[in-house]
Structure 1
Amino acid sequence: MSQHTHFKAELILVLVTIIAGFGWIFSKEALAGLPPFFFMAIRFLVAGFVLLLAGRKYFSDLRWQDVKGAIIVGFFMGLAMTFWVLGLDQGSSLGVGAFITSLGVILVPIFARFIFGDRPPKSIWFALPVAVVGLACLALNGQVAFEWALVYFFISALAFALQFNMLSRMSTRLHVFVLTAIQLGTAGIFLLVLSLLTETWPDVVSLPVLGWFLASTLIATSLRFLLQTYGQSLTPASHAAVIMNLEPVWTALFAMVWFGEQMLTIQIIGCVLIFAAMLISKWTQIRAVFTPN
């Protein structure tokens, strides 16, 4: 691919991280009036339907093999989002949760090694112990205790790493509208079943909550995943993963401004260590960016 194409992909993915950071804020506000699984199910189903209408001309002549692959990607997205929204609903710090979830970036090449046979860079083995120490700093929270929300965020990171790999491989076989709509729809159905089995739906939704829901659906879901899928189709998964490191940084900054969140010193150290681990894991790509040709 040309340098122009790579630069375009980088700009798109940076925008994706900013939108994703805002998405944490939108979702936290919406959860004040909606059950978590119900919120995510309706959010994904509406977002997927919007993309279906917008790109309906691309849905002709689909092969079942490709559709099946997109459904599998959507299933793992639904699994990841299940634990993510539980962590978001029960957690006390969006910034901490964002950095734990971002561990999925480090796990991307490890999943690629064991599932797809790719060889991870040596830097990943230096990044992992740094990430583990950083995770311990966040989990202990300055005490000998931790929130279950942190566990949920970590499980979501595992699922996101698998979904990220599969999405990168599928994005070259289906149009971006088709792939995004199918995976969102599949994730929505998965979460809707969970909601039907475990939650009581509200009779009335306030206008502010409805507004946050629409922002989460149209901006942080439809637009975000459409841009992410398109951006990933223009650049390798490992390159995209470097840029996606920015999401927890934006989230922590937005949470400080919007919710007035503060972190303990040990939590800040943990966030810094995890961010450093993400950079170390992609050191080859980072060095290439700053090395003159």
Structure 2
Amino acid sequence: MKKINLKQPFLLVLTAFIWGIAFVAQSVSMDYIGPFTFNCVRNLIGGLVLLPCIALLNRITPDATSRQLTATPEGKRTLLRGGLACGMILFAASNLQQIGIQYTTVGKAGFITALYIILVPIFSLFLKKKCGVNVWIGVFLALIGFYLLTMKGSFSLSSGDLLVLLGSVVFTLHILVIDYFSPRTDGVKMSCIQFFVCGILSGVMMLLTEEPHIPDILAAWQPVLYAGVLSCGVAYTLQIIGQRNFNPTIASLLLSLESVFSVLAGWLLLGEVLSAREIMGCVLIFAAILLAQIPMSVFAKHTK
């Protein structure tokens, strides 16, 4: 039986946990600043946080394989291409989501964003990456779970819903682009570049469409710092490291746990109570994650 790698799933679940808590930070910060201002500041902070981390890692493990990949001119070009591609895609995805949340309910936004768990395997088919039956069953269970967890009433698409849906499509591309570049370059450096690219692009849109004021940004310093240091600097870097040579469909299922953690955060931090319907949704999602993690060899063994 093939040994199950627990390190990468753990890193991806930790990423989802940080992102889940970040929903609270995103919501609070919008009381003070606009979406482009928020994403500009948080991503620039994320990039700055990684600079000393990169210097420290270079001193501690100078011969690490991932850093050797960037030692040649071609390696540097791959790093730059990966950072630019991920940064531009992250800019589009994060701002579509942030703007859309303003015009729809949190429940709908959570369900629509979670659609990337079905979009990733569908998109992967075009890249000739097949998934086992257990993964597809896991995706189906997860979709039901997300519906029970986040949807409260009838489902219809408003302008905000459409923006969040487009954001989910772009987040799908982000996962697949990371899946392509992460084995080919230094993940931490690529993450750093993507934050600066996303932050600069968000900053341009901030100056064109919003009226940022320093006092407003300072008033939102707590949620902005959490989003910048942990959600960006730590979580997105863990995503890149965790996705290295890892099935992108299973990665998307693990990352989609952010919605579960956001509900739990609301319960623990804001005193929100989970209904029986929401608890059932969490159970189905966790079952889907476990099912997708089981190697197909286990099913093959029991069908003989």
Same fold (TM over 0.5): yes
2:107 aligned with 1:108, yes or no?
no
Which piece of structure 1 moves more, 157-166 or 68-77? 68-77
Match of 1:242 in 2: 253
Alignment of 1:1-293 (within 5 A): 3=3, 6-56=5-55, 57=58, 61=72, 62-93=75-106, 95-114=107-126, 116-121=127-132, 142-143=153-154, 147-205=158-216, 208-233=219-244, 235-259=246-270, 272=281, 285-286=293-294, 288=296
The CA deviation at 1:287 is: 6.5
Contact 1:239 1:285 in 2 (8 A): yes
1:291 shift after superposition: 6.2
Q: Structure 1: which 4+ aligned runs deviate by more than 6 Å?
A: 123-140, 262-265, 277-282, 289-293
In the aligned structure 1, how far is the partner of 2:288 from the partner of 2:150? 21
- Tell me the distance in 2 between the aligned counterparts of 1:22 and 1:129: 25
> Per-residue displacement from partner, 1:3-29 (whole Å, max 9, x unpaired)?
47x111122222111111011111211
- CA distance, structure 1, for counterparts of residue 51 and residue 134 of structure 2: 40
Q: Matched residues in 1 for 2:152 and 2:29: separation? A: 26
RMSD of Structure 2 on Structure 1 (CA): 3.8
Flag the 1:236–1:133 CA change in 2: closer, same or farther, 3 A. closer
Q: TM-score, normalised by structure 1?
A: 0.79
TM-score between both structures, scaled by the size of structure 2: 0.77
Shift of 1:253: 2.2
CA contact (8 A) 2:46 2:195 kept: yes
Aligned pair in 2 of structure 1 residues 18, 45: CA closer, same or farther (>3 Å)?
same
Q: Are the structure 2 counterparts of residues 253 and 35 from structure 1 closer, same or farther at C-alpha, using a change threshold of 3 Å?
A: same
SS at match of 2:184: coil
Q: After superposition, give the CA deviation of every residue in 1:81-112 in whole Å (9 maximum; x if it has no partner).
A: 1111113334442x542332121121111112
Q: What does the per-residue CA deviation read over 1:173-197, in whole Å, with 9 as the maximum and x for residues that have no partner?
A: 1112111111222222222222222
C-alpha spacing 1:99/1:253, structure 2 compared with 1 (3 Å)? farther
Partner letter of residue 191 of structure 1? S
Decide whether aligned partners of structure 1 residues 123 and 278 sit closer, same or farther in structure 2, where only a CA change above 3 A counts: farther
Name the % identity: 23
Which residues of structure 2 form unaligned runs of 5+? 59-66
